[in-house]
Amino acid sequence: MGGEDWEDWIGQLKDEGCLAEGCLTTNYTYLGSEVTWPIYYHGTIGRAKEDLDRAARALSSVLAGVNGQANVIVMKGLLTQAASAIPGMSVYLSLLFKAMKAEGTHEGCLEQVDRLFRTQLFSSPQRRDDAGRIRMDDWELKPEIQAYVQSHWGQITQDNLDELTDFEGYRQAFLNLHGFNFASVDYAAEQDPDVLMALQEL
């Protein structure tokens, strides 16, 4: 959701009287490290991220009447449909997964949101940066994690891909994201595409 969409959504809820006292609204973003800034932050995508910060500030004024708050949450590098389409991110994430799994700090989408709710969103003090964003990418940006990524960034070849990165983990996450490679599913089983949906009376 972009900044304007976020503002429109919250504005509509406010106008209809649907916002509770002390409500929170959050929007997730990704900033990355020095390795990904040329791709993720210094290009067109970066302008959208700047607009998200602007929208959070604007929404804080809108929500003041109900003591509400708008938060931009900076997440760690994750395998998403968007990330999988951005050049270079598959290499970066494969390196990141390798380093973070070795340290025991790797998280998927659900694990990271769980940590956000348990340790930041409703806790104090919160880990905020100078722009007021809550930072959940702290484990990704640890010096030792980024040192591994940066030192191997230019060394990867087809021959050492599986040794230096967790490309298999990236591949598994990509397939799962699109509904494939689940051990509990028999993909060879015949399926009837014509499924009758029961209409339930309301």
Tens digits of residue pLDDT in 168-177: 999 999 999 9
Average model confidence (pLDDT) across the chain: 91
Mean pLDDT of 123-138: 94
Q: So what's the pLDDT on residue 150? A: 95
Residue 158 pLDDT grade (very low, low, confident, very high; cuts 50, 70, 90): very high
CA distances 170 to 62, 85, 157, 175, Å, are 40, 13, 16, 9
How many alpha carbons fall within 13 Å on the CB side of residue 100? Answer: 22
Residue 152 has pLDDT above 90, yes or no: yes
With a pLDDT cut of 70, the percent of the chain lying above it is 96
CA distances from 135 to 58, 59, 89, 131, 166 (A): 20, 19, 20, 10, 24
List pLDDT tens digits, range 42-71: 777 778 888 999 999 999 999 999 999 999
Protein fold of 3-177? Rossmann fold (3.40.50)
pLDDT of res. 1: 58
Q: What is the pLDDT of residue 49?
A: 85
Q: Where are the domains of the chain?
A: 3-177
Q: Annotated active-site positions, please?
A: 40
Residues 6+ apart with CB under 8 A from 42: none
Q: What is the pLDDT of residue 201?
A: 56
Mind listing the pLDDT tens digit for each residue in 8-50?
999 999 999 999 999 999 999 998 888 877 776 777 777 888 8
pLDDT band at 202 (very low <50, low <70, confident <90, very high): low
pLDDT at 200 over 60: no
Span 61-117, pLDDT tens digits:
999 999 999 999 999 999 988 888 888 889 999 999 999 999 999 999 899 999 999
Which of 54, 73, 70 lies closest to 3 in space, CA to CA?
A: 54
